[in-house]
Structures are given as C-alpha cells and as structure tokens.
Chains A and B, each alone.
Chain A
Amino acid sequence: MSKIPLNTPVLDPRIKRVDLESTYGTTAIGENEHWISWEVFHQKKRGDQHVHVGIVHAPDAQLALLFAKEQFGRRLACVNLWVTKSSDIFSFSYDDEDIFDNATAPEKQYREASGFRVMEKINRYKKSKQKA
C-alpha cells in the first residue's frame, strides 16, 4: 500500500478539503463557543423520581432546559425536567468498584426487598375482603 503523503490537499477527487490550519491558523476557543454539558433528569409523573436520561450542551441553565425539552421531553410522558451541570456531579472512581462487590452476594439476600413476604399478606387480605 502506498503511503499517502501528509498535506495532500485532495485525497478523494470528489471531496475538496480545506486546509484549516494554513487558512485560519490555530483557532482559540472563545468564551461560550464551547458549551458545557448538563445532565438531564426526566420526571414521568408528579411524585415520581426524576430519572437521569442523558446530557445536553448549553451555555447556561435556561437554554439547557430548552434543549432538554427538545431532546427528552417530546416523546415520553413528562411533567418536569431537571438539569444540572455535569461538573457538579460527584462520583466514585471505577477503580473502587470492588467496594460494591458484596451488594449482590448470595449470602446477603436478606438485604433484598424481595425477602419480605408482603404480597402473600396482601393477597390474603384481598381474599378475605372478597368473601366479606
């Protein structure tokens, strides 16, 4: 395979490429040209939890809400959206993932809500109501 020399202005005869660097020099990114990212939380109905659905890029919170409405508020049932700067989110490091190892350990099943046998009680109650 022949090596394509660097700075070849046109690689594919159908495509004209602009040599950005020689045309414009290196470009500095000005304020507000590079928008920050915002995490979007979507609420399906009043009283429900807001659930994280993705991110948008915007210069400020109000525009972030507008963009979030366009991306996440149009197709699903929605009563409310939250946005928060991605930089305001704090998280663990994936290197520390092992601290969660025990969460699903079989010998700790007693921690799972499924351990509580509530449905049986409810069904028994419903049945007794029906009879009465």
Chain B
Amino acid sequence: MEAIKNLLFRMADDELIYGHRMSEWTGMGPIMEEDIAYSSMAQDKIGHALANYSILEKEFQTAIPDKLAFFRKENELMNSQLVELSNHEYDFSLVRHFLFDHADFIRYEMLSTSSFVPLAQLSKKIKGELKYHVLHADTWLTRLGNATEESHARMQSALNELWNYALGIFEPSDYEAQLIAEKIFDGEKVLQRKWMEKISPIIEKANLKIPSSSTPVYGGRKGYHTDQLQPLLTEMAEVISSEAEGTEW
C-alpha cells in the first residue's frame, strides 16, 4: 500500500509541478500556436495530476486533491528536480519537454498492464494526450537540432544542462522490489532502459549528442529540492491561501 501511494505521489507531483511550469508559457510563447500548445499541454498535465491525487483520495483516504496539491510543504513533494527548474528560454523548455514526456509516456504505457486497476485504467484514458505531447516535442527537437547553427548550439547546450536532471526522474524508491513483485510497476530501472532506447535515435536524428559522462541528480523523490521550487509553490497557492477555508469557486 505504501508502495503504491509513493508511486502515485511521485507521478502526481511531477505532473503538477511540470504542468505549472508549462502554464508559465501562456501569453509568452514565441508564436501563437506554441503559446496554445503549451497552455493546452499544461491543462493535460494538471489533469493527470488531479487524476492521480483523486486515486490517492479514493483508494487510500488521503486528503482531497486540492489539499495535496496546494498545502503540502516543499520537502513533502516527491517530484523530480527536472520538472521544478525554471523555464529559462524556449530551447531549455523544449528539451525538458522532450526528456520528461518520453519518460511519462513510457511510464503510463508500462502501467497499462498494472495489477493496480485504477492506474491501468488511467493509463488507457490519457494515452492519446501523451502521444501528442511526445509528437510535439519530437517535432521541435528534430527541427531545431537541424536548423541553424544557433538553434543547434542552443539545443545541445540545453541537453547538456538538463541531462543529469533527466536521469533523476528514475531515482529508485524504497519500494522498487515490492512494486515489481506485485506486478504493479516494472520499476524505474526498466523505465530508464526503455526511455534510453526510445530517445537515443531521436536525439541522433536531431543531430544532437547525449553527454558522455553523467551523474544523475537524485533527491527530488525524497523531498530534497532546488531553490527554484519554493517560489513556484508560493505562487501556485497564492489565491487559495488568501481565501477562507472551504471557499467555493
């Protein structure tokens, strides 16, 4: 039970924080369609977070989704550090989008046969959305990797900067063996292997190179975060914190 809860929190917190980061492009995108694309993907991500928090509430009697999303402390959040980093420029956001969404897509694909039925059902429901997120990321990565000298250099340096954080997505939990044994989830190690297999040829097609040496940035899954998370949490809960408890919108 703790094992599933842990998995659900990791996924939901990733999606919530990443969704918020994506939403920060609303009104700021480089072209209108990209503005819309990020805004609508942000809605999808936050929807996925809500779905996972709702499973937590329903199956494990935790607090309601709003409480889980807006009132937990920074060190209670189990998102990977990758998703909390500020957006920086568009190249940085696109490369993160590519690295995170492939992992997210494969994770849900693996969960589609999970023995934990609510996750298997959710996986089927959101498959199409995730497929589009990955298509969007791949399209831009291969375009900009192959466009001009500047765009190529920007994409490569974003990839270099983000690579270790991306490996942090797969920080093992204390429940890996149990999740695998109970056929709930095949574990972060398998996910990472599938992810590498999937993204390597696309990165190559984009004329980019995976950094040769790497040290995964772990800690996020255990509640250790960068200084970029707290400002996000403060902003995200600004409205709800200013209201009396139980205010209905």
Contact = CB atoms under 8 A, between A and B. Distances in A.
B194 to A, nearest CB: 25
A63 B143 contact: yes
Contact of A71 (B36, B139, B143): B36
Interface of B: 33, 36-37, 40, 132, 135-136, 139, 143, 147
Contacts of B36: 70-71
Interface of A: 32, 56, 62-63, 66-67, 69-71, 74
B40 A62 contact: no
Nearest to B36: A70
A108 B125 CA distance: 53
B40 A71 contact: no
Prevailing SS type, chain A contact patch: helix
Contact of B33 (A32, A62, A67): A67
Nearest to A67: B33
B40 A70 contact: yes
Contacts of A32: 147
Contacts of B136: 66
B69 to A, nearest CB: 24
A62 B136 CA distance: 10
Contact of A70 (B37, B139, B143, B147): B37
B142 to A, nearest CB: 9
A87 to B, nearest CB: 20
B132 A69 contact: yes
Given A56-B33, A71-B36, A74-B40, A66 B135 contact: yes
B143 A66 contact: no
B20 to A, nearest CB: 20
A66 B40 contact: no
The 9 A-B residue pairs with the shortest CB-CB distance in the complex, in nearest-first order: A67-B33, A70-B36, A70-B33, A70-B37, A62-B139, A66-B139, A66-B136, A74-B40, A63-B139
Contacts of A67: 33
Given A66-B136, A66-B139, A70-B40, 6 more contacts: A62-B139, A63-B139, A69-B132, A70-B33, A70-B36, A71-B33
Nearest to A56: B33
Nearest to B43: A74
Contacts of B147: 32
6 contacts: A63-B143, A66-B136, A70-B33, A70-B36, A70-B40, A74-B40
Nearest to A73: B132
B33 to A, nearest CB: 4
A63 B144 CA distance: 12
A62 B139 CA distance: 8
Nearest to B40: A74
Contacts of B143: 63
B14 to A, nearest CB: 24
Contacts of A66: 33, 37, 135-136, 139
A74 B40 CA distance: 9
